[in-house]
Chains A and B, each alone.
Chain A
């Protein structure tokens, strides 16, 4: 296991290097740059833009800018944001807790809904409940989050007035209840999207397991249905689902971009949209590298867990 870990970590280095090069190239290929925002302000003169371009080192050739960025990044110097001049790391770290809070809650809620739906769907395949959840989960997968989010705001904040429409807390930080109230709608929207997808995966995976010979054998030995489904089938069915869940988590570390924007959730996702609009190269690079690392790391976790959960898979390749 440790050997596998080391090997995977070593493999990740060239991968991340390639990713950084690609990301750098893509970001710079987009029209405009960090100074484009200044153009729409009549008070900023062309001479000012030229002055800033030189001051920020944006007049250097691209490969030099990349190498300078890479060397600094590896040393842990992630640079300063073009937007507000603060260290990039500070800007990311202050947004991370909000995103983690949203991810954890929505994933827990999503799993809570997906588990029973997936299990019952597989056990009672093509029954009325299965048909209903199939329709609902397709709706959940296809509903655009920004639209669904606004709809929930209209219903629960504007019409019923039960919940705050957006934000993470009331003025001054708010107490626990206030924080939970703010969390309900954004986490709910994300949870529904997750639940819709995961319940489908679980249903498919579980249906497959249920048809395996060992299930038939277990049933023949008189194992009760509940034990059969929850202990024998579910454990096996969860293995592929786990990968999906972990990769979803990795993607969400980069922020539930749309949800955060609709609900004015102060996480890294809304930082990303702001930085993208103003081409804040340093923040974008750090952000995209961070999310790439998250994908690689959680992919690795999934692999390791896989080995643990399913003795047939891998382990130490040597």
Chain B
């Protein structure tokens, strides 16, 4: 007896019938699926995560989707300029919109654009501005940040289109105070905003789009609003679908199969996978973030000596790193303020690759290779420390290894430790690391106090170099307390020069943004700040 008995005729018959049915069903399906290209009817975005909430003040992730729905009084454009949106102009000292008071405080007069209505037809007024400030200062609400709002004493609304914001003290970034928009008073007054799920999942805005559907775990579909205040047939694209695709390779496969048309912030090592896909272009622009190595002076006493820090900076061949590992995608930079910012200066001390100079500086600081093992020591302690960086981030892993080799050349012994992103954040917040390779996304307002002032070490800030320089701290605080742009730029440039002199960290390169967009997409301009690429979505159009 054989297997034949097992697979007897009736079984074979039944199986064949089943197979026939399956094939018949699969036949038409196996024709190549026609993935619809991008059109003014539908644009599909491969998005890297599902938003937690669409409430711009509560969310912890980028506000790309919200930007299409809820508009601020101002926004940040592709050149990092603050431009008016629901305000008719940006208040300044010159135009009388900002008035300094004798008591050290200041008043900001916001003139609202007339004729703007919420999506439900109710007019957008200064009462909404006032309500927003009060809601954010209400301790029962848990917004992500109350920065700036906590310095506002009160808001006055002399008429529906004027909101006068009274600050207790001078607040330099006042122009982006309402960049996240306003709450609709008539919807949220008297409610627990944290639990207002109707608003948080489908916010009422004034923007070009509104939520048509949110399928949890799958996608958010936006549809254009019928009477957008700008008029002129805007927005041109009827619907935008944000698909949630956490896995980078899955996102890329969707772009390649034509199921998705656009993705922001493509990881650099995936550029090759996308570059050749027909119908797509990679939009490349300088970002407002910079990769650098933080040297924790609290944990490694050797870093407290400026000569050691300068030596380590001279020992890193940044040009070689960007040329080889980054394929020249990112430019080398010399400080925390990025070239796109109005406050940027390149007139700072530079640390070119010079291992000879690095060795001389270490000798001078008393670190010598007395043990003849290639590692320098002083007072019986070796120049040895750990460099932590994010695991699974191929480029960072490669950079860390290259830097490790280059530092070894000048006599520093470095151990690399790879950890997941959340662990890294927790460790820097507690100051538990020696050196760290990472980036900071900088605020669109070029404030550096948080990162370099002596009293802003964790938990009070992000001075995780534990740099304590009185002169720098004074300049930084002075820059925070001026609204005169010319004076503020002078102070910030002085601060940049001082930071370069002190070399508290080793700046490596600018985080260039790679956004993949349809080749036929018109008026795409990108955006280097956290405002994200959808800031001018109302102008987008798919050409022929």
* Stretch of A14-22, A187-195, A222-230, A288-296 that contacts chain B: A222-230
Query: Are B200 and A84 in contact (CB-based, < 8 A)?
Result: yes
Interface residue? B477 (CB, 8 A): no
Residue among A91, A119, A171, A172 with the most chain B CB within 10 A? A171
Question: Could you say which of B120-128, B408-416, B424-432 contacts chain A?
Answer: B424-432
* A51, B6: Cβ atoms closer than 8 Å: no
Contact status B246-A273, CB under 8 Å = yes
For A270, the chain B residues whose CB sits under 8 A away are: 217, 246
Task: Determine how close the nearest CB of chain B comes to the CB of A54; give it in whole angstroms.
Answer: 10
Known: A33-B426, A123-B6, A150-B253. A164 touches B33 (CB 8 A): yes
- In contact, B257 and A50 (Cβ under 8 angstroms): no
Give the interface residue-count category, chain B. Answer: 35 or more
Given contacts A165-B257, A264-B250, contact A49 B459 (CB under 8 A): yes
B532 to chain A, nearest CB (A): 13
Rounded to whole angstroms, the CA-CA distance of A169 and B219 in the bound complex is 10
A86 sits at the interface (CB 8 A)? yes
From 77 to 115 in chain A, residues with beta carbon under 8 angstroms from any chain B beta carbon are 83-86, 91, 94-95, 98
Q: Is B92 an interface residue (CB 8 A)?
A: no
C-alpha gap A44/B147 in the complex (Å) = 7
Q: Are A32 and B5 in contact (CB under 8 A)?
A: no
Query: Min CB distance, A36 to chain B, in Å?
Result: 5
Q: A52-B142, A226-B5, A270-B217 are in contact. Are A166 and B421 (CB under 8 A)?
A: no
On whether the beta carbons of A225 and B426 are closer than 8 Å, the reply is no
Cβ-defined partner of B146 (8 Å) among A31, A51, A85, A261: A51
The answer to whether A226 and B194 have CB atoms under 8 Å apart is no
With A31-B427, A36-B426, A85-B200 as given contacts, are A264 and B253 in contact (CB-CB < 8 Å)? Answer: no
- Output the least CB separation between B391 and chain A (Å): 13
Which residues in window 219-249 of B have CB below 8 A to A? 219, 221, 241, 243-247, 249
Q: Does A167 contact B (CB under 8 A)?
A: yes
Q: For the complex, what is the distance from the CA of A279 to the CA of B461, rounded to whole Å? A: 22
Partner of B253, one of A41, A86, A154: A154
B299 within 8 A of A: no
Task: Say if the beta carbon of A278 comes within 8 Å of chain B.
Answer: yes
Q: Is the CB of B6 within 8 A of A225?
A: yes
Query: Are B216's CB and A158's CB within 8 A?
Result: no
The reply to whether A262 and B3 form a contact with Cβ atoms under 8 Å apart is no
- In-complex Cβ contact of A38 among B1, B144, B420, B441 (8 A): B144
Residues of chain B lying within 8 A (CB to CB) of residue A94: 216-217
Give the segment of B50-58, B368-376, B486-494 that binds chain A.
B50-58
Q: How far is the CB of B12 from chain A (nearest CB, A)?
A: 12
Contacting pair B53 A166 (CB below 8 A): no
Contact of A165 among B6, B221, B253 (CB under 8 A): B253
Are the CB atoms of A166 and B1 closer together than 8 Å?
no
The count of A-to-B residue pairs whose CB atoms sit within 8 angstroms is 195
A288 to B: closest C-beta gap in Å: 17
Q: Measured between C-beta atoms, what is the minimum distance from A277 to chain B in Å?
A: 6
Q: Contact at A157–B6, with CB atoms within 8 Å? A: no
- Given the interface pairs A158-B257, A162-B30, A261-B247, the reply to whether A224 lies near B422 with Cβ below 8 Å is no
* Given known A43-B443, A95-B216, contact A48–B257 (CB-CB < 8 A): no
Cβ-defined contact, A171 with B221, below 8 A: yes
**Inside 8 A of A51's CB, which chain B residues have their CB?**
139, 142, 146
Given contacts A32-B426, A158-B256, A264-B250, contact A43 B217 (CB under 8 A): no
Chain B residues with CB under 8 Å of A32's CB are: 422-423, 425-426
Binary flags per residue of A22-34, CB closer than 8 Å to B gives 1, else 0: 0000000011110
Check: B254 CB closer than 8 A to any chain A CB: yes
With A85-B200, A229-B6: A48-B246 Cβ-Cβ less than 8 Å: no
| Additional pairs, 11, CB under 8 Å, beyond known A51-B139, A84-B53, A164-B33 | A31-B426, A40-B441, A41-B145, A42-B462, A48-B145, A50-B459, A161-B32, A161-B35, A166-B254, A181-B29, A277-B422
A interface residues (Cβ-Cβ under 8 A, vs B) = 30-33, 36-52, 55-56, 83-86, 91, 94-95, 98, 119-120, 123-124, 129, 146, 150, 153-154, 157-158, 160-169, 171-173, 177, 181, 224-226, 229-230, 261-267, 270-271, 273-274, 277-279
A-B pairs, top 6 by smallest CB distance, nearest first, are A266-B217, A32-B426, A161-B32, A84-B52, A32-B422, A225-B1
18 CB < 8 A contacts A-B:
A31-B419, A36-B422, A37-B60, A44-B144, A44-B145, A46-B458, A85-B58, A157-B253, A164-B33, A164-B259, A165-B250, A165-B257, A171-B42, A224-B1, A264-B245, A267-B217, A278-B60, A278-B422
